[in-house]
Each structure stands twice: as structure tokens, then as C-alpha cells.
Structure 1
């Protein structure tokens, strides 16, 4: 049985006493080697959760436990060894003059020996397909390439938890797909816990479990198929559903028997083939 690697225990947070609560009594757990998606409308508390996990913020109420340790001012530097975070704009994470310098930066701060640093730079840049750009200046890269380097820089510190906070939002559809394929492959290889905070519904359907936020509280948490089966309820809280799920809904209304909640094109084609065979 997988153990809990992240726990939120009745966590509440607000940005100052004069402001409303951004998170309200939130409790949930994330397990080792689990892929989680956190979704919700703007202002629902998604990105605040990410910053609390990484110790960029601290809750006014409740407790956050990462890998068995409570997140406090005293434990934060140890916590950050386990938690890697990739943000929406990779330019905000670049500090080195070349790609390899940037990947090395986090390791230098942790006192990792040079030979090990060189090995990790080679391995992580190869993992994200950026080995040939190691001497390139980061600002000369495309958006997708920059995000790959940002991912490599985080992976080089060997985190147990990888948080993508809208990390693909600035990329085109192909770039988003490529980044998520890369991250999913690395997660499988390293047994990371992957937490994706996103508006991209195709990323959501790839998760094992979805946590839905609404007005600072957990509205629901379940497998993607179970979440997107609640189409009307999701729309009432300002969230959309995947195109394939919406298309399945319209086909049912048109009298075509589709039994399973299709979440991708392959599943929909299978349902259509099955219904055609029956008819």
C-alpha cells in the first residue's frame, strides 16, 4: 500500500487579515507515485495549495505534512529537497547563462559534488530531450524548450514530489502534449508523485485522481471519469468538461447508445463501434 507523501490537515489560508479566506478547512492526502490533477475556476485556491506545499506560504490554520514532516519555518529547507516546482513562465526560473548552468544551479545550492552534478545534468537534459542545447543561452530557446529546461532543473535535485503549476499554459497544444509526455515518462522512471495544477482538460484526464476546488474548499475528489460524469454540476461551478465527454453527451441525446463515459478519442471510437455493432 502506498504511503501518504502529502497531507493537508484542516488547512485555511488568507493573504492578510483584511482579505477573505482563499482556502477554507481543506483536508486531503496525496500518495507516493500518484498522479494528481487539481482543477478549479480562477481564485478557487489551486495555486495557493502549490505554494503551501513548497513552503512559499504558511497556513494560518491547520497543518501540512510532507513526507512525514510538518511544514514549518524550521523544516522548510529540508522540505524543499523533496518538492520540485515548475511555474507557468519558465523565464522566472532561469538564473544561469547557459542551459547547463541553469540545471546546475539548484544542485550547487545543495552542495552536490561536481562529478555527480555532471552526471545529473547529462541524465536530466537527455530525459527532456535538450542535451544538444546544453551550451545555449536560455533566452534563445522557444517556449516549449524553455519549459523542458525548467523541468530538467527541477528533476536534477531528485525531488520526490513534482508540482506543475500551470506549467503548460503558455505553450501551444503540441508543446503541452510533448511536455506532459516527458513528465509522465520521468514520473514512471523515478516513481515521483506528480501534482498538476491546470486548466487543460486533456492533462486532467491523464491523472489518477482529480481534486476539484471551488471557492477555497474541496468540492469533490475522484477519478477523472467520475468527476467528468458530473457535467451539469461542474458547469454550475464554472468548469468545463473535455470535448470528447461533451460530444458523448450530445450523441446520447441524438439516440446513439454510449454506455461508458468516454474521455478520449480512442474510448469514444470504441463506444461508437460497439453501439454500431449492436444496432
Structure 2
């Protein structure tokens, strides 16, 4: 069985003693080489979890372990070497005059030798398909290209975990698809664990597991197919259902016996073709 990389153990958090709890008694594990999507309605605690994982916040109660080490003020710099975070707006992460300067920034802060830095810039930009833009000024890039560079900058510090906090929310559908395809390809090559905090159901169905948050608590943790079987319950807590699942229900009501819960159009077409071939 894979090793636990992130452990939340009875974690609660609030921003001040007078404010309500944003998270209450949250527990879950994330393993090496695993893709976990965290979903929930606005205010459910998703982004707070991201900030806790990266040590931008600390628990009020409970504890968080990253690769076996507790997240606290003494361990924070070691923790941040292991967790790379990409935010919603890539412009907030750019500090370099060119793409390669930006990718180099995090490594310079960590004292990476110049010869190794040059190699990492080349390999990470190649990994995200941005090597040809290494001398380009960031403001000349498209939204999707900026996010690729932001991901390259995080990968250059060799993290154990890549955390995308609504990192595709500002992109058009084509840009979102390209970024997630890039990240999916990197998982197999880099040995990364991936956490995506998202509202995009296309991303959710690609994950190995899904953590559903509701009002600061863990509502469910399971595989995407099992999560989306609970359509009525998900709607009650303010979450959407993949269109293909809604379409499958409509087809069942019309008399077609679709047995499984399709997660994408390809699976639904495969089921329909199987039914057609038996007629």
C-alpha cells in the first residue's frame, strides 16, 4: 500500500477566538502518487485546507502531518519545500522579468546551484510545453500559458505535493483541458501527489479520490463514481452533478438499461453502443 503523505487528524480552524469555526474535526489521508480532488460549496472550507497544507495557516485544534512531520512554525520552511501551490490568478505569482527568471526565483531562494538551476528550468519548461517561451515577458502570455509557467516554477523546487487551488477557474474550457492534461501527464513522470481544489466537474472525475466538504466538515471521501451516485444528496448540499450523469438518468427513464454511472461522454457512448449491439 502507498505511504501516507498528508494526514489531517481532527483538525479544526477559525480565524479568531470570536469567529465561528471554518473547519471542524476534519480528518483524512492523502497518499503518495495519488490525485485527490477537494470539492464543496463556497465557504465549505476548501481553500482553508489548502492554506493549512502549505503552512500559510496553522490548526486551532488537531494536527497536520506532511511526510510524517507535523506542520508548525518550526517545520514550516521544510514543509514548503515539499508542497508546491498554484493559485487561481497566475499574475499573483509572477516575479521575474522573463519566463525563465520566474521559474528560477524559487530555486534562487533555496540556494540551488546555478548549473542545477539551468537544468531544472529546461526540464520543467519542457514538461509543461513552455520551453520556446523561456525568454518571453510574462505579461505577453495567455492565461493558460501563465498557469503552465506557474506550474513549472513550482515543479522546479521538486515538491512532493502539487496543490492547485482553483488554478483553472479563470481559464476558458480549452485552457482548462490543456492545463489538466499537462498536470495528468506530469503525475506519472514526476511521482507527484496532486490535490486539486475545484468547481470543475471535468477535473473531479479524473481524480483517484474525492473529498467532499460541507459547512467545514468532511461530508464524504470516496472514488468519483461512488460520489456521483449520491446525486440527490449532493444537490441538497449545493453541489452540481456532471451533465453526463444527468443525461444517463434521462435515458434510464426513457427505458434504456444503463447499468453503471458514466463519468464522461466516452463511457456513456460505450454503454449505448453495447446496448445497441445487443438489439
Settle same-fold status: TM greater than 0.5: yes
SS at match of 2:170: coil
- Distance in 1, Cα, partners of 2:263 & 2:11: 32
- Unpaired segments of 5 or more residues in structure 1? none
Aligned counterparts of 1:278 and 1:228: Cα–Cα separation in 2: 27
2:48 aligned with 1:61: no
Residue of structure 2 in register with 1:229 after alignment: 229
Matches within 5 A, 1:192-203: 192-203=192-203
State the Cα distance separating 1:256 from its structure 2 match: 1.0
Please list every run of 5 or more consecutive structure 2 residues that lacks an aligned counterpart in the other structure: none
Residues 179-237 of structure 1: per-residue CA shift (max 9 Å, x gap): 00111111110110000000000000000000000000000010000000100000000
* Aligned position for 2:271: 271
Q: Give the secondary structure class of the aligned counterpart of 1:7.
A: strand
Q: Partner of 1:110 in structure 2? A: 110
Kindly state the Cα deviation for residue 112 of structure 1 after the two structures are TM-superposed.
0.3
Give the distance between the partners of 2:233 and 2:63, measured in 1 at CA: 30
CA distance in 2, matches of 1:81, 1:152: 15
Counterparts of 1:45-56 in structure 2 under 5 Å? 45-56=45-56
Aligned length, in residue pairs = 279
- What's the counterpart of residue 253 of structure 2? 253
Deviations 1:99-135 (A, max 9, x none): 1000000000110000000000000011111111111
- Displacement after TM superposition at 1:276 (Å): 2.1
Deviations 1:218-277 (A, max 9, x none): 000100000001000000000011111111011111111100100111110111112223
RMSD: 0.7
* Matched residue, 1:146: 146
Map 1:4-153; keep pairs closer than 5 Å.
Answer: 4-153=4-153
Which 10-residue stretch deviates more, 212-221 or 132-141? 132-141
Which stretch shifts more, 15-24 or 56-65? 15-24
Which residue of the partner structure matches residue 171 of structure 1?
171
Cα offset for 1:278? 3.3
**Match of 2:199, SS?**
coil
